[in-house]
Amino acid sequence: MTHLAVLHHTDDAATIAALQSAPWRSAAGLRVSVAPLTQARSVDADCVLVVGDETGTSTDDVGAMLDALAGRAPLIVAGTLVTDAVLAERAGVSPTVVTPPHEIRVRPADGVDPRRMEDLLITGRLVITDKVADDVDVLATANVGFTDYPALLFRPTTGIGALLLAMTPASWSDRETLRFVHHVTLAVTGASEPADVAVGMIGYGAIGHEHALAVTAVPGLRLAAVSDPNPARLEVARTVADDVLAFDDSDVLLAEAGVDLVVVSTPPNTHADWARRALSAGTHVVLEKPMALTAADCDEVMVLADASNRLAVVYQNRRFDPDYLVMRRLVAQGAVGELFHVESFVGGYGHPCNYWHSDADVSGGAIFDWGSHYIDQLLDLMPGEVAHVTAANHKRVWHDVTNSDHSRVTIHFDDGRQADFIHSDLAAAPKPKWWALGTHGAIRGDWRSERVVGRSAIGTLDEDVLALADSPAAMSLHAPDGSVTALAVPPAPPFAFHRELADHLLRGLPMSVDAAQSRRVVAVMEAAERSAAAGSAPVRLP
């Protein structure tokens, strides 16, 4: 395992704190330690990254640092510390100017595999060098004024390189930066990048296809095998990756495909069983939501994952909904003070779908079907112990399916806060998607009714009205004085869950979602169904 020692040499307390609290983890082939530069003489590492600036630095300081580290391991210096004359000469650069802070996109240099040195977008300053010694390897560049300048370089003859970026403290906690540092470390030490994670798909319906597209788009993941009893679905999978192994029996896939991870995209009442089979076969597992239909099944999966040292995680993709990311950011920033009441709603007036989603024995019921998304968001927004849950189900119109027509779940927290989730197929007048009250303001998210307009085959108007849930909500911030601020809702980051999955398995970085959180969602939904069956009586979590 490659050991990267991160040494800080700066008077900026925020940068030091960011480095110390960054989610560095022991990863596939990489271990990270963080310490002050004063401990350089005791460092025993395969690579050293010095994060610093020129503040309080003299030539004697740099000389002492180089003497302490010389010949022991490749050394990469990040930030404006490289403007020191001694260090610049050893690195083979001639710094001329440091740009003002701005958004910088760092790209692999020509000849560097972009899957092994991905783009990095950060806010910071670039140390521009107008000369680079002939024996210096340029690994990455950044563009300023339509000119590409070196952003990362390494000089094998001296074992010294430079990351010519002075980044903000926040950048050092960003997973894109940590991913980039991982690539840098392996590049300068000559260590091999970890092999791509071979991914197998158990079940290949619409959501399976979504996973397959994400897997093929994310560096570090490789679609290796799919299983589905429907031959037509296997043919669709081959359009995504023509060399994918195809099986009509998922047990055979687990036994013969040699995959590292499987994505389970089967109906909910089979999730726990397939998770147990996959973990017993030695693979990591991603489960579609809900994790299972009972908290007890979730517990069994988590115990087995822990015992086998494998990842079990749920695809809580709506953690990355654009409107939810806006909501989460505002709450974290304290924009409305202390959040004490949140309501979320999804639905409209119309017949439920006729697939297994509306079969309560398979899906767990309407609370499980939509609550797996929205209750997860509510619990992420409002961490804390749940005192009890109350709920109600209505069956009034759609008697050909077994899911309830209208459901309401109220989560009561120990400290008195409350969160409500409503799903309805009887809502002729829909509620806002979000209604969040804080001690100093409120956040509202209004559903948008969007239309896709085009031409039919004969040239007439062809208009498709999207379901409310297919568009991000329009978000607004409400102040106590009655003023309302419309909020921008940026696009969702592409393939965010799968990027985190690759970062976790290949680099040891934490994921936003873990199995315990998804188990908690199931426990709330299970309690809600019991409450509804008992006339809305309070029920504690199983």
Report mean pLDDT in 10-residue bins for the chain, 542 residues. 87 89 76 87 88 67 74 87 87 92 93 82 92 93 93 92 91 88 88 90 93 94 96 93 94 96 96 97 97 97 97 96 96 96 95 84 91 96 95 95 95 97 95 97 92 82 77 94 96 93 91 96 98 97 86
Look at residue 487 in the predicted model and tell me its pLDDT.
96
pLDDT the model gives residue 465: 75
For residue 393, list its beta bridge partners: 407
Spatial separation of the C-alpha atoms in residues 205 and 227, rounded to whole Å = 10
Q: Identify the pLDDT of residue 58.
A: 60
In this predicted structure, what is the pLDDT of residue 123?
92
CA–CA–CA angle 343, 347, 353 (5° rounding): 145
Beta bridge partners of 52: 9
Task: Report the alpha-carbon distance of residue 285 to residue 27 in Å, rounded.
Answer: 18
pLDDT of residue 59: 60
Q: How far is CA 177 from CA 105, 181, 347, 495, 504, in A?
A: 11, 6, 39, 17, 14
CA neighbor of 361 nearest in space, from 292, 270, 273, 269: 269
* pLDDT at site 453: 83
Ordered by where they begin, the domains of the chain are: 2-189 (3.40.50.880), 197-315 (3.40.50.720), 318-533 (3.30.360.10)
pLDDT of residue 215: 96
Torsion angles phi and psi, residue 105, rounded to 5: -105, 120
Does residue 217 contact residue 495 with C-beta atoms inside 8 Å? yes
Contact between 445 and 478 (Cβ < 8 Å): no
Residue 340 and residue 332: Cα distance in Å, rounded? 13
- 404-415: string of b/e by CB count within 10 Å (b at 16+)? bbbbbbbbebee
Q: How many helices (H) and strands (E) does the chain have?
A: 14, 27
Residue 53 · residue 27 · CB < 8 Å: no
Which residues 6+ apart lie within 8 Å of 74 measured at CB? 46, 47, 48, 154, 159, 160, 161, 188, 189
Compute the CA torsion angle 243, 248, 250, 256 (nearest 10 deg): -50
